Amino acid sequence: DGGITQSPKYLFRKEGQNVTLSCEQNLNHDAMYWYRQDPGQGLRLIYYSQIVNDFQKGDIAEGYSVSREKKESFPLTVTSAQKNPTAFYLCASSQGPYSYNEQFFGPGTRLTVL
Amino acid sequence: GENVEQHPSTLSVQEGDSAVIKCTYSDSASNYFPWYKQELGKGPQLIIDIRSNVGEKKDQRIAVTLNKTAKHFSLHITETQPEDSAVYFCAALFPGGGADGLTFGKGTHLIIQP
C-alpha cells in the first residue's frame, strides 16, 4: 500500500527533553510538510521540504528542527526550547510544490508533555 | 500573506438535511481551493477541490462553489449521513507562495444528529 506513516501514535515527554517524531512516505513525493494542530487553531505549518537536503521554516518553526536526508523520510524534533509542545502533529507529502498538488496526510502523532 | 476565514466553527444538522460551510480568502491571486475532512484521531483527507477557472464542482453528495469576485468558496453536503460527522477544513493556495502557499481555515466541526 502506498501512503504516509507516522510513529508513534502517542508520545509522552518530560519537560526539558527533546523528542523526535517519525514520518515516512512511499509515494515517491518530493515535498514533505509538518503541521501542528491545536483545538480551534486549524493547521499551522512548522517546516517544509521541497527536495532532499533542503528545508524551510514555516509559520511556527521556533523550538523545532527537521532533517531531510532521504526522500522518503522527514523526521521532526521537538526541542526543549518549544514552550508549549503538547499538540497533535501531522506530517504530509505532495508530489511537488508550486502547483495544484494534493497534500496527503499521515495519521498524526499526539504529543503530551508531562 | 493569505488569510482564510472559515464559518461556522460548529454546525449541527439533522440526518438527511443539507450542510453548508463557508470560507473567505484575502488574496485574489489564490487559485486553488481544496477541502479536507478529518475524522477523530486521524489525519485530514482531501474530499473535493476547485480551481479558480471553475465556478462549481460536484462529486455525488458533495459540491463546492467559488465566487472569485467576492473571494469566497463554500462546501455543500446534501442528504447528510452519520458518517459525514467530522471536522472539515478549507484551504487556499497562493501561487508563488512556495511550499507554504497553502493556508488552512480553522475548521468546522460538523455534527449529524440522528
What pLDDT score does A105 carry? 93
Nearest residue of B to residue A41, measured between CA atoms: B106
State whether B106 and A56 contact (CB < 8 Å): no
State whether B95 and A98 contact (CB < 8 Å): yes
Could you write out the three-class secondary structure of chain B? CCCEEEECCEEEEECCCCEEEEEEECCCCCCEEEEEEECCCCCCEEEEEEECCCCEEEECCEEEEEECCCCEEEEEECCCCHHHCEEEEEEEECCCCHHHCEEECCCEEEEEEC
Average pLDDT value for residue range B18-47: 93
State whether B98 and A100 contact (CB < 8 Å): no
Nearest residue of B to residue A49, measured between CA atoms: B99
Tell me how close the Cα of A32 comes to any Cα of chain B, in angstroms: 9
What pLDDT score does A96 carry? 72
Mutate to test the interface with A, among B100, B106, B108 (most CBs of A within 10 A): B100
Neighbours of A44 (CB within 10 A): 16
Whether residue A65 contacts residue A57, with contact meaning beta carbons closer than 8 Å, is answered with: no
Name the residue type at position B64.
V
Nearest residue of A to residue B34, measured between CA atoms: A102
State whether B44 and A105 contact (CB < 8 Å): yes
- Contact residues, chain B, for A49 at CB < 8 Å: 99
φ and ψ of A32, to 5 deg? -135, 155
As a whole number of angstroms, the distance between CA B2 and CA B97 comes to 9
Instruction: State the virtual CA torsion across A22, A60, A95, B109 in degrees, nearest 10.
Output: 90
* pLDDT string in tens for chain A (114-residue length): 569 999 999 999 998 899 999 999 999 999 999 999 998 788 999 999 988 999 999 889 999 999 999 999 999 999 988 889 999 999 999 887 655 678 899 999 999 998
As a whole number of angstroms, the distance between CA B109 and CA B39 comes to 10
State whether B43 and A45 contact (CB < 8 Å): no
Cell of A25: 512516505
